[in-house]
């Protein structure tokens, strides 16, 4: 090293960080809170409340009888996919009485995950319809619950009448790498959709 020379010339400026907002949606008890929690690199923010007798007439817990809490506002987490790419995750409440929050949460979202449970596939219709109507790209992620029947991707696609370009993936929301692959799918699909729209425009 030459006397008096600093290593300033060898330092590279840090790459600008891109932050993207993604939603995690789906029916009640489908695993949204679990997915955000399993993949988040920070302690996730949760707004869960206990299910009560008073809510029994409006909270359909068929198929998820063991569930004792519900998200009443949102879940929030963060994951760094690359040094220059950070995702902010917003989990939506699944019960229809909290759907009024979705419009607020969806503002500025690049894309979304729609989680599905093959035992209650109809529960994700509302989320699929919501993102289709608003032109928000989404990936349909089938959460592989223990004991749930496994179906081919095309069978799930046909049952939900999804457009051909919508990715359908299998995942285990409890496993970080599995959840991370779902998020990568959403980002890739959303970016491809954006480029296609620009090319068409």
| β-pair partners for 91 | 24, 75
Q: Does the pTM exceed 0.75?
A: yes
pLDDT band at 200 (very low <50, low <70, confident <90, very high): confident
Please give the pLDDT value at position 102.
82
Mean pLDDT of 123-148: 95
Mean pLDDT of 101-109: 89
Please give the pLDDT value at position 67.
47
Angle between helices 32-39 and 176-200 (to 10 degrees): 100
**Domain chopping of the chain, boundaries:** 16-200
Mean pLDDT of 153-163: 95
Please give the pLDDT value at position 52.
47
Question: Could you tell me if residue 175 is left (phi over 0), alpha (psi between -120 and 50 degrees) or otherwise beta?
Answer: beta
pLDDT band at 8 (very low <50, low <70, confident <90, very high): low
Kindly report the average pLDDT of the chain as a whole number.
Answer: 84
Half-sphere exposure of 5 (CA within 13 A, CB side): 6
What is the per-residue pLDDT across 28-69, written as a single tens digit (0 to 9) for each?
889 999 999 999 999 988 665 554 444 444 555 555 555 455
What is the DSSP secondary-structure string of 14-72? PPPPEEEEEEEEESTTSSHHHHHHHH-SSPPB--EEE--GGGTTT---TT-TT--EEES
Q: Where is average pLDDT lowest: 42-56, 103-117, 164-178?
A: 42-56
Q: With pLDDT > 70 as the criterion, what percentage of the chain qualifies?
A: 76
Please give the pLDDT value at position 28.
86
Of 61, 43, 32, 66, the C-alpha closest to 179 is: 32
CATH number of 16-200: 3.40.50.300
Rounded CA-CA distance 73/93 in Å is 6
């Amino acid at each position: 090293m030459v006397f008096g020379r600093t290593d300033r010339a060898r330092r590279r400026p840090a790459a600008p960080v891109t932050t993207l907002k993604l939603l995690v949606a789906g029916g009640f008890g489908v695993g949204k809170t679990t997915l955000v929690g399993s993949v988040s690199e920070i302690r996730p923010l949760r707004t869960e409340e206990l299910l009560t007798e008073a809510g029994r007439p409006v909270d359909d817990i068929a198929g998820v009888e063991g569930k004792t809490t519900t998200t009443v506002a949102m879940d929030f987490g963060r994951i760094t996919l690359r040094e220059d790419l950070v995702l902010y995750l917003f989990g939506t409440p699944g019960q229809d009485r909290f759907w009024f929050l979705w419009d607020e949460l969806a503002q500025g979202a690049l894309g979304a995950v729609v989680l599905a449970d093959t035992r209650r596939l109809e529960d994700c219709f509302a989320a699929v319809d919501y993102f289709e109507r608003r032109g928000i790209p989404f990936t349909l992620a089938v959460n592989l619950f223990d004991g749930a029947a496994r179906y081919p991707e095309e069978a799930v696609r046909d049952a939900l009448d999804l457009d051909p370009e919508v990715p359908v993936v299998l995942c285990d929301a409890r496993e970080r790498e599995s959840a991370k692959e779902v998020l990568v799918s959403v980002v890739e699909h959303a970016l491809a959709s954006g480029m296609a729209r620009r090319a068409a425009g």
